[in-house]
Chain A
Amino acid sequence: MLIISVALGLASTGADEHVLAGARLFREGRWAEALVEFRVAERLGSTAARGYAGATLVKLGRPEEAVEAFEGPGGPPAGRDALLDYHHAQACWNARLYTCADRLLAGVGERSGPRVAGEAARARAAIAKLLSTEPKPDSVDWYLARCEETARAGRQVLARAYCSEAKALGGRRQDRRGVAEAEAKLSRLAAGREGL
């Protein structure tokens, strides 16, 4: 037991060094190197590193992978950390998952400081404007198609995100286009049936 604790302690110390290095590189805008550090920290057992890796993937212009990092197993739970939620919302936004972004930004508020809170409020206002008119049927279909493509590629987390978006957008239409289909796909994803 003691040996395990000591071993865990040592591994954790190593992980923290990588988190620190990743933080420094992130601040300097050296995204690719920061990502490597956070990934190493994650492998060494840092529970926080996955969220930081997600934020770094957003900076690298890889929003879908960022969504997977944030929402996959071991990702930071939404609502616990306002700053991580902000970066998670950016991942969703850049992957055009706007209702996902809006949900996260709703909880950001002043907890993250006035500047970030201001940006969150501006982003939410833009989403509200975007969704003030009924989404086009083509848009709902786009999300359903993306859900299917990603599920086929074995990217279940991403497939769930796209199907949830299709469901949310379809629900804003009078004819509820795609809602039933999205729900059926989400059930199949929850049951672990990959191909949909």
Chain B
Amino acid sequence: MKRIALVAAAAASLAMPALAADGDMESDAVKAAHAALADRAEPFAMPPTLPDAASDRAKDVSFGQQGARKKADAARKAQDEAGKQGKDSAKDADVDAANRAAQGAATSAAGAANADSHAAAGQARAAAVRDGTPSPPPGKGH
């Protein structure tokens, strides 16, 4: 029994500083998060409008058109970016594979909700690496 108590006391003495340090760290983490929240607190999108069925239908149509346009733009950009990369590495690469990678990247980039040309280029680079196509050094083509 005494031995258990001794072991427990020893373990407690080892654990306490760790827990105390953790307490400090937690407050540091929370402080950092709060500072970030304060830093990034942005104004509200004005003006507020109450929805109704009719206006929503109209919005859906216009958002749908805008969304399709954005997707098409993102796909086009992605194909351009990936195409450039394919050309840069053409001397050693299988160009067809690069084009396939570019196509895949463009398709998935267009499908992604927050797709942009940088993401698509990144995906294209990754796809090109997977396919064994040499890719240009980072930053090239941007």
Residues of A whose CB lies within 8 Å of any CB of B are 2, 5-6, 9-10, 12-13, 16-17, 19-20, 22-24, 26-27, 29, 32, 46, 48, 52, 55, 59-60, 81, 83-84, 86-87, 89-90, 93-94, 96, 98, 101, 112-113, 115-116, 119, 122-123, 126-127, 130, 135-136, 138-139, 141-143, 145, 169
Contacts and interface: CB of A to CB of B under 8 A. Distances in A.
A119 B44 contact: yes
Interface footprint category on B = 35 or more
Contacts of B61: none
Contacts, number: 129
Nearest to A108: B41
7 contacts: A12-B22, A26-B33, A26-B40, A48-B33, A96-B48, A122-B43, A139-B51
Interface of B: 8, 11-12, 15, 18-19, 22, 25-26, 28-30, 32-54, 56, 114
Contacts of A83: 34, 37-38, 41
Give the top 8 A-B pairs by smallest Cβ distance, nearest first. Answer: A138-B52, A19-B29, A23-B32, A16-B29, A23-B33, A139-B50, A27-B36, A123-B44
A55 B11 CA distance: 39
B50 A96 contact: yes
A17 to B, nearest CB: 8
Contacts of B11: 2, 6
Given A16-B22, A127-B48, A87 B114 contact: no
A2 B53 CA distance: 59
Contact of B51 (A20, A60, A142): A142
B114 A130 contact: no
A158 B32 CA distance: 29
Contact of B53 (A93, A122, A127, A138): A138
B50 A113 contact: no
A26 B47 CA distance: 26
